[in-house]
A and B are shown apart, each in its own frame.
Chain A
């Protein structure tokens, strides 16, 4: 009789914690929807860099305000991959000479990470490494075998030089929530950004865990107009392009002489 009573009691009295867990697991899973403001960035004669806005929303957001901080967002934008040679200078008999060099394959020509917090605080290191989020977690390994210290020095140098050229950037306050589910981030593509296809990944984290699959989108830096024509001729018909360039120079040389004779 007593046991039955306890059993009933257990069934009837709602345990608050258990109940909320029940609610949570029934709560619809969050997903990200996002897009970039410009899918195609025209690179023409007056291109001097541009800003692209990435905006998105968390479906089924559990935040009640923008500042609640349940979620972390990391946006990674990577330009076309390139094979880089990094050289190190040393003093040889009074002259600064390239003494060692390593080749690095598949280095992003452009790499920007924007996040709601310092990347290291968002998720555990192994996960960040796996996803390649942040300067410390981007895979840059020399092509040939190198000592750990040397490889590290070269890696740091690539990150440093690229950051100096405004091609690499990590901004721990680059993504802002502007509502309980709406967020935005703006990416600067400098004038020296390589032309080609850029990938943008948007990751959603909650309590250090990746939620759902990242949202992936693309943007294309495309040469346009006269600049596009010049580039195409230069690569498709290089010999004729060379002749044309010389012809242009000759024409202007003659023209200047002719004009100056008249004056």
Chain B
């Protein structure tokens, strides 16, 4: 039998041992040290990395009185978490960090419950309207663009305004002038009806501006998946002239409820809350928030505002770059949304 001789030479088919198990490529290129599987997001992430993100965002939320949703949502998406899961889980984490921060502020007497409740009532109205707008945009297929543009616009405008103002204030204190230009009267806001006394904030103003602010923030929170602290804090400081220390506690107080409402709605309607991911973020977040509140005690109001402004602007610039620079991959895949 010579048939083996005339068979064409072929590469050997032996192939052992097996090559190493291919790791899922990660956006950040980091190795996974302690993998943990997320049942709703359906991917594996690094346990320590997630806790660290939670802690970092929690620290900022305790420091500045923002829920941190505007940071955590983009970070999770960057890590490969589906955007719907990132938005919903982010608001769940915001509940924990804002409770933790709000309690710490409350012990220092820095929460104006009356002002917070007025804003909260407006917030629920705004949030409900926002949910309908999001549903409409989803049918139009432009919800992602709208979210990005809202982020860039809101963060860009608020960040710039805050940065300019707080830098001015810091310059003034350096020159020896008192840093307190925030109590120079309310112009047209003083002439509105339904005046209420907000003891904690040392204000006697109409309930209409805080309610309107609440509606606007609730609307934004539904669209951007955030608690809205980054809007509430500057609005209370610059429009309402509420003292900075009271602003943070009050903002955190109303953020708890807006974020809780959003979380329940997202879980109920979209099943997009990943409890395992939220749990890890919360563990890091609550500790970070406590540390943030302590760190904030040693910083002056205008310094806090300048730092928050810088972070807000940085996120805005990062998102704007994403809209302007040509993307590496022009195509994107997503599970089809029913009815779109």
Is B266 close to A, CB under 8 A? yes
Measured between alpha carbons, how far is A164 from B37 in the docked complex, in Å?
20
Measured between alpha carbons, how far is A125 from B299 in the docked complex, in Å?
71
B103, A253: Cβ atoms under 8 Å?
yes
Neighbouring B residues of A256 by C-beta, 8 Å: 100, 286-287, 289-290
A192, B268: Cβ atoms under 8 Å?
no
A158, B290: Cβ atoms under 8 Å?
no
A51, B18: Cβ atoms under 8 Å?
yes
Which of A66, A86, A96, A257 gathers the greatest number of chain B CB atoms within 10 Å? A257
Known A46-B37, A227-B276, A245-B267: A253·B99 in contact at CB below 8 Å: yes
B37, A161: Cβ atoms under 8 Å?
no
* Nearest A residue (CB) for B106: A257
Neighbouring B residues of A231 by C-beta, 8 Å: 39-40
Is A59 close to B, CB under 8 A? no
Contacting residues of chain B (31-52) with chain A, CB-CB under 8 angstroms: 32, 35-37, 39-40, 42-44
A177, B13: Cβ atoms under 8 Å?
yes
- Quote the shortest CB–CB distance from A22 to chain B (angstroms): 17
A190, B22: Cβ atoms under 8 Å?
yes
Is A60 close to B, CB under 8 A? no
Segment among A2-10, A128-136, A202-210, A234-242 that sits at the interface with chain B: A234-242
Measured between alpha carbons, how far is A116 from B15 in the docked complex, in Å?
11
Known A234-B40, A244-B275, A249-B93: A48·B13 in contact at CB below 8 Å: no
Known A47-B37, A176-B13: A192·B44 in contact at CB below 8 Å: yes
Interface size on B, residues (CB 8 A): 77
Neighbouring A residues of B43 by C-beta, 8 Å: 191-192
A98, B141: Cβ atoms under 8 Å?
yes
Is B133 close to A, CB under 8 A? no
Segment among B184-192, B203-211, B325-333 that sits at the interface with chain A: B325-333
- Quote the shortest CB–CB distance from A101 to chain B (angstroms): 6
- Show 11 residue pairs from A and B whose CB-CB distance is below 8 angstroms, ordered by the A residue: A67-B14, A84-B335, A96-B323, A158-B331, A166-B22, A173-B15, A191-B37, A248-B96, A249-B99, A249-B282, A254-B100
Q: Footprint of A on B, CB under 8 Å? A: 4, 7-8, 10, 12-16, 18, 21-25, 32, 35-37, 39-40, 42-44, 80, 92-93, 95-100, 103-104, 107, 141-142, 144-145, 256, 260, 263-269, 271, 273, 275-276, 278-279, 282-283, 286-287, 289-290, 322-327, 329-337, 340
Q: Footprint of B on A, CB under 8 Å? A: 43-51, 64-69, 82-91, 94-98, 101, 103, 116, 154, 157-158, 160-162, 164-166, 173, 176-178, 186, 188, 190-192, 194-195, 223, 226-228, 230-231, 234-235, 238-239, 241-246, 248-250, 252-257, 260-261
Supplied contacts A49-B24, A89-B330, 12 more A-B pairs, CB within 8 Å: A45-B276, A47-B35, A82-B335, A98-B141, A98-B142, A98-B145, A188-B21, A192-B44, A230-B275, A235-B271, A245-B275, A252-B283
